[in-house]
Structure 1
């Protein structure tokens, strides 16, 4: 009789466990431009760093949503109503990684913003995220491949990167310094070898670009990984909301 009772209790416990709802996954949202975005297969080997960043996340407890889009600025991302649906999905403790600047800073583009507009738009993203108790993290834009005659990397995002730093300080939100750190990576590679980090292809080298490609802005798979490694390391150090515990740990060296 006692054995039967124990069996029933165990069975009831197992049935109860089957109906327990697992805790919701931590969400990381990425918003920004083409250097961060997911790419269509027809664009390969062009790779957004957000695609590689997702590989650093423990998918058992975290999910990454990459909403970055080619050609977008802080202004056009708002105007096209890409931000509001994200805000509606935000939960307390979620992380929002925000990287704009490439398109905001080019005055000839229709999606360009003035420095004042740029700062105002960033403040809007921050305010909306904080209202949902999510954690916004600003990121200075990834460097373009631009060397001077002496082989020294040039900062093509100087003004808008500084604006991002000022907004981060004023709004008291975490800042990832991708611009300066990516420049350091490019300088290490040098003017010639740094082409491996970008979408540089010779004629006939890849079927997606039969005429070849010379692109100093968008990354190869290797370049995207290098950028993602910077973001990952910075975010792990900052550890906003304890997010570092949701990353995969590196494999110990033997």
Structure 2
């Protein structure tokens, strides 16, 4: 049988298209959903840095980190703004979903306030819908704010909502990264003064983005974001997640 050259070309083109839209064997996507402490920042916000930014650089080529976290979002607003559904629709078997909310859920004066009951319900939704697509949900407690008492002891700033995350993780047998406690320990090690080096603390005239200066004890600078990302990476390893095998070993102690 003689094959027309055009037929061979079409067959090759179809194969090329198929390959282009087929995920590489073993390739996974790690989705980050959360708030401003995790999100990608615009240049005009620098040196403010979400911990998801350095986190994305610690993996080999088999991992794509898709950071969907957004400033000011709670579990409720993330869902209501249709930010969750596109993630759920794109999930594939073996993908990960890192879920870190609480900063904006817990503040009753914010329009993003989420009741304790709804916060729990939303976390469960993220878990169950991820698992329905054979993806792996990971819960994170909200990262600590920088707050010390007069004796220099770091203060808990997310007591109620962090405990809700722990309870849901336990009930639904979901891997937990207790970033609240871990970041509190990090702050305590740095101490009252040195911990300022982790946050968006800018003196007047020090940076063109903040000519009047900035004192922010919630959001990180580049150093703080990297330190928090390293806490997350260390816990991925201690939990023995399959994702740990994809961390670039030379970059993680």
TM-score > 0.5, shorter chain as reference: yes
In 2: Cα distance, 1:121 partner to 1:23 partner: 32
Aligned twin of 1:8: none
The structure whose residues are more often strand, as a share, is: 2
Q: How far did residue 23 of structure 1 move?
A: 2.1
Aligned-pair Cα RMSD in Å = 1.7
Query: 1:176-212, CA deviations, whole angstroms, 9 ceiling, x for partnerless residues?
Result: 0111010011011111110010000000000000000
Aligned residue in 2 for 1:121 = 122
Distance 1:152 1:252 in 2: 29
Q: List aligned pairs for 1:68-79, cutoff 5 A.
A: 68-79=69-80
For 2:72 and 2:252, locate their aligned partners in 1 and report how far apart those are by CA, in whole Å. Answer: 39
The alignment's TM-score, normalised by the length of structure 2, stands at 0.90
> Is residue 2:106 matched to residue 1:105?
yes
Q: Deviations over 1:45-90 (max 9, x none)?
A: 00000001011111x2110000000000000000000000011110
Whole-angstrom CA distance in 1 between matches of 2:70 and 2:59? 21
Is the Cα–Cα contact under 8 Å of residues 58 and 251 in structure 2 kept in the other structure? Answer: no
Mark the runs of 5 or more structure 1 residues left unpaired by the alignment.
1-14
Residue 247 of structure 2 aligns with which residue? 247
Contact kept, 8 Å, 2:230 with 2:252, in 1: the verdict is: no
The question of 1:168 aligning with 2:169 is answered yes
Match of 2:209 in 1: 208
Residue-by-residue CA offset, 1:101-160 (whole Å, 9 max, x unaligned)? 000010111111111111001001111101000000000111100001111000101110
Aligned mates of 2:79, 2:240 — CA distance in 1: 27
Q: Equivalent residues in 2 for 1:20-59 (5 A)?
A: 21=19, 22-23=24-25, 25-58=27-60
* DSSP-derived class of the 2:64 partner: strand
* Residue aligning to 2:64: 63
**What stretches of structure 1 move > 3 A for 4+ residues in a row?**
18-22
Q: How does 1:97-246 map to 2 (within 5 A)?
A: 97-240=98-241, 242-246=242-246
Give the whole-Å Cα distance in 2 for the aligned partners of 1:218 and 1:124: 27
